[in-house]
Every structure is written in C-alpha cells, then in structure tokens.
Amino acid sequence: MKRLKLLLLIGVVLFGASASGADVSTKQLVLRGVDKITGRVSTMTATVHRPLTFGTLTIVAERCLAKPQEEMPENAAFLKVYEQTKDNPKKQVFNGWMFSSNPALSAMEHPIYDIWVLSCVNKDLKEDVVAPKKISREDDLNLVADDDNPALAED
C-alpha cells in the first residue's frame, strides 16, 4: 500500500511539472509609481539590470518573471530600490520580490513613494504605455446607459 501511495505521489508530481509551463524570464517590466505628496501617478518601463530614476529613488530590476499565457496571469520582479537625498548618501529602501497580482504582499514601505509591478514583457513598449487622459467634463467619460447599469439612464 505504501508503494502504491509513493507511485501515485510521484505520478502527480511528474504530471504537475509537465502540465505547468515554466515561468518566462523577460528583459523589461512595467512599473507604476505614485508620488504621495503631489498625487502624480507615473507608468514606467524598466529594463532588467539598468537603473531607473523615479523622484529620489533609483530602481534596479534584477529579474522579471511572467507566467505563460495559458496559465493564470502573474508577474513577479525582484527589485532593489535605493534612495539618494541631499542629506543622506545612497540608502537601500527595498530589496525583494514584488507581485503584480498582489502588490501588498511585498510592498515597499516609503513615506513619499509607492511602486508596484504591472507586468513583465519582452517587447518595446514605447507605443503601448500612454499617459492617462485627463477628464475635464462628465461628457468626456462617454458613459452609455444599459440594462446592467441603470444608474446611467436619463431621468
């Protein structure tokens, strides 16, 4: 009986390993940063092993891993974040993995800045990353009333 359980366990492990694809290592990643003082939100493209500056922070991505398309979406990046101010020399403020599906799991604790991973990619994103459009009037929202959202229906 023990031998049967062992064979069953080995079969499950081998099937599980072959059924799931390996994580895809990428050369670029998309980060989102917030300056809590000004409220400014920035979307940034970083390249692995190349420093990226955001305010007084320098972000260096060591690795970025994405799940294959046939699996649940998940992106994980190993980041090192340093801060350089006039008063202090370069100081490391974060060192670890960040996950796109759960940014709070491993968040950078900083009084001024928040940074989190959006995705890991292997292509040039200059055309894909766009600044958010400022909405000046309610008409710019292009809201349409439908059965699923009766609050948008005109009175």
Cβ-Cβ contacts under 8 Å for 54 (sequence gap 6 or more)? 31, 33, 42, 44, 113, 115
Q: How far apart are CA 138 and CA 129, in angstroms?
A: 24
Domain ranges of the chain: 22-123
How confident is residue 152, by pLDDT bands cut at 50, 70 and 90?
very low
**Sign of the CA dihedral running 42, 44, 86, 84:** positive
pTM, full prediction = 0.63
The pLDDT mean for the chain works out to: 75
pLDDT at residue 150 greater than cutoff 90: no
Longest CA–CA span in the chain (Å) reads 72
User: Which pLDDT tens digit goes with each residue over 51-107?
Assistant: 999 999 999 999 999 988 778 889 999 999 999 988 878 899 999 999 998 888 888
Provide, rounded to the nearest whole percent, the portion of the chain with pLDDT above 90: 46
Q: Pairing relation of β-strands 91-99 and 113-121?
A: unpaired
Backbone φ/ψ region at 55: left (φ over 0), alpha (ψ -120 to 50), beta: left
Q: How far apart are CA 114 and CA 35, in angstroms?
A: 7
User: Which pLDDT tens digit goes with each residue over 118-130?
Assistant: 999 987 544 344 3
Helix (H) or strand (E) holding 26: none
Q: Which residue has the tokens 């950078």?
A: 108
Q: How far apart are CA 114 and CA 81, in angstroms?
A: 11
pLDDT at res. 88: 79
pLDDT at residue 133 greater than cutoff 80: no
